[in-house]
Amino acid sequence: FQAPLTVSPKDPKMDAQTPMKSATSYNNFYEFGTDKTDPSENAGTLRTRPWEIAVDGDVGKPTTFGIEDLLAFPLEERVYRLRCVEGWSMVIPWVGFPLAELLKRVDPTGNAKYVAFQTLSDRSQMPGLKYPVLQWPYVEGLRMDEAMHPLTILAVGMYGETLPNQNGAPVRLVVPWKYGFKSIKSIVRITLTQDQPPTSWNRSQPREYGFYSNVNPEVDHPRWSQATERRVGEFSRRKTLPFNGYGEEVASLYAGMDLRKNY
Amino acid sequence: MAAAQKNLAKGPVARALASRWAKPAVFVLGLVPLGWMVWLGVSGGLGAEPVAEAVRQSGLWALRLLLVALAVTPLRILTGQAGLARFRRMIGLFAFFYALLHVSVYVGVDQFFDWAAVWKDIVKRPYITVGMGAFVILTALAATSTNGMVRRLGGRRWKALHKAVFLAGAAGCVHYVMLVKGWQYPPFVYAAILLGLVALRYTKSPAAGRLSPSYRT
């Protein structure tokens, strides 16, 4: 690994790292079940070697990256806050590299306005696919400028170790200023597109989950408030920050946009 | 049928139900989920988010015990064990107890007595509105559950009031269906059981026909 890089730890108390045991045993990964402990109990069946990500669409050089190719990118540690749409949060030291580095290798064309991501969908490895909780495979998307932003990373590890299966092994997205469900796990395909791609939760409940899904204490989820969150391991709630506290870095991406409409 | 019932009433099950130890035993059983939750709490078994898990577990037990309380009368009719009836009130009160725990942990621990936030939740969020509705009904039923209250209200009015238990059960199920993300099946299992229990009461089997006066209470 290269020298550790810590991003915006302005308040040292606020950014105390979540115990690894919590971050690896309290997960939403519905491909392995809907209870928080299901992924850590069931994800042992996920085979992470060999693994490939196909990168295609509006690119000059469509490429399939093996997991070895991904691990060959210069890896850095990033300590990010993770805010779940359900109202809890963690602070996790990820290990990975900027998504921009990968995208540069495939030569996006001028048509590429969005990036679509897809999770593995294999019933033999993912028992949760038996239930129609969502339409499988899980898909997510970013606007091109969000995808190219230096804070957006592909993670292959956490807490200095290889990414555990329940956390989206072998490679997942981490977009720290958006609700956790945007940070899609166990990615097998990345497609650059001209049109805004469908995203799983938006497809399931369009009124509740928008395409952007930026952390925003002002815009409530229709079924619960987003004004506060509980940091896992703490007792009382804390105020949720706009853009999960990364406004200085990312607010300019949304200049002129009505974030109540584009939630 | 009446003869069969008489015979059953003298069987070992009937004797056990009539025993003076039966009620204390049901009382202890009703405390088992609480004991289990306390044990999980002190041993770290509630996981990374113990507050959320305590809210979830207490809510589930309130709903489960409400369904058990609603199953007492159909079970009494189907088995002919008249002795089951005397446990119904206690089981219903345990359902209220776990609902009270559920609401208390939500208000006191999750929201830390932020009454403004709680009130906003109640008026703004349908699943909490519905859940609070169920809790208000259960509170009214618990408050009028004593023999004295039955006497004061009069049997007929008391029965009419306590039919609201079905409304509380339905609200509890709707609350659960509404709060989960995506298309999850467990809430529908509870709803199906409740519908089954309601359907049983309105099915006119020959046996039920004969027993109907008390059957529909």
What tokens appear for B25 in the block? 């035993």
Q: Which of A22, A133, A222 sits opposite B183 (nearest CB)?
A: A133
* Residues on chain B touching A237 (C-beta within 8 angstroms): 110-112
- pLDDT of B73 over the 80 cut: yes
Instruction: Check residue B1 and give its pLDDT.
Output: 45
- Cβ within 8 Å, pair A86-B181: yes
Q: Which of A25, A223, A224 sits opposite B48 (nearest CB)?
A: A25
Instruction: Check residue A11 and give its pLDDT.
Output: 58
Q: Give A208-239 pLDDT, tens digit per residue.
A: 999 999 999 999 999 999 999 999 999 889 99
Instruction: Check residue A235 and give its pLDDT.
Output: 86
Between CA B196 and CA B202 the distance in angstroms is 10
Predicted ipTM of the assembly:
0.85
Between CA B142 and CA A79 the distance in angstroms is 51
* Residues on chain A touching B51 (C-beta within 8 angstroms): 230, 235
Between CA B190 and CA B1 the distance in angstroms is 32
Instruction: Check residue A119 and give its pLDDT.
Output: 98
Between CA A113 and CA B85 the distance in angstroms is 68
- Catalogue the E-assigned strands of chain A: 52-57, 63-66, 76-83, 88-98, 114-119, 139-143, 153-158, 161-162, 172-174, 187-193, 228-231, 238-239
Dihedral sign for Cα atoms in the order B113, B117, B122, B127? negative
- Cβ within 8 Å, pair A230-B49: yes
* Residues on chain B touching A23 (C-beta within 8 angstroms): 48
Instruction: Identify residue B42 by its one-letter amino acid code.
Output: V
The residue-averaged pLDDT of B97-115 equals: 95
The helix-helix angle for B155-162 and B164-179 (nearest 10°) equals 10
Q: Which of A133, A201, A227 sits opposite B184 (nearest CB)?
A: A133
B127 touches chain A (CB under 8 A): yes
| DSSP state for residue A244 in the 8-state scheme | G
Q: Give A120-161 pLDDT, tens digit per residue.
A: 999 999 999 999 999 999 999 999 999 999 999 999 999 999
Domain tally, chain B: 1
The residue-averaged pLDDT of B91-114 equals: 96
- pLDDT of B215 over the 70 cut: no
- Cβ within 8 Å, pair B184-A131: yes
Instruction: Check residue B212 and give its pLDDT.
Output: 47
- Cβ within 8 Å, pair A224-B48: no
Instruction: Check residue A12 and give its pLDDT.
Output: 57
B211 touches chain A (CB under 8 A): no
Q: Give A152-191 pLDDT, tens digit per residue.
A: 999 999 999 999 999 999 999 999 999 999 999 999 999 9
Those of residues 30-89 in B touching chain A at CB distance below 8 A are: 47-49, 51-52
- Cβ within 8 Å, pair A34-B184: yes
**Confidence band for B108, pLDDT divided at 50, 70 and 90:** very high
Instruction: Check residue A15 and give its pLDDT.
Output: 79
SS3 for chain B, per residue? CHHHHHHHHCCHHHHHHHCCCHHHHHHHHHHHHHHHHHHHHHHCCCCCCHHHHHHHHHHHHHHHHHHHHHHHHHHHHHHCCHHHHHHHHHHHHHHHHHHHHHHHHHHHHHCCCCHHHHHHHHHHCHHHHHHHHHHHHHHHHHHCCCHHHHHHHCHHHHHHHHCHHHHHHHHHHHHHHHHCCCCCCHHHHHHHHHHHHHHHHHCCCHHHHHHHHHHCC
Task: Kindly list the domain boundaries of chain A, sorted by start residue.
Answer: 20-252
How many interface pairs between A and B have CB atoms less than 8 angstroms apart?
Answer: 61
* Cβ(A259)–Cβ(A243) below 8 Å: no
- Give, in order, the Cα–Cα distances in Å from A131 to each of A146, A208, B75: 32, 21, 32
- What residues make up the domain containing B193? 2-215
Instruction: Check residue B102 and give its pLDDT.
Output: 98
Q: Give B2-55 pLDDT, tens digit per residue.
A: 444 554 557 888 999 999 999 999 999 999 999 999 999 999 899 999 999 999
Q: Give B127-170 pLDDT, tens digit per residue.
A: 999 999 999 999 999 999 999 999 999 999 999 999 999 999 99
SS3 for B51-91, per residue? HHHHHHHHHHHHHHHHHHHHHHHHHHHHHCCHHHHHHHHHH
Q: Give A45-85 pLDDT, tens digit per residue.
A: 999 999 999 999 999 999 999 999 999 999 999 999 999 99
Instruction: Check residue B213 and give its pLDDT.
Output: 46
| DSSP state for residue A196 in the 8-state scheme | P
Q: Which fold has domain A20-252?
A: Sulfite Oxidase; Chain A, domain 2 (3.90.420)
* Cβ(A70)–Cβ(A171) below 8 Å: yes
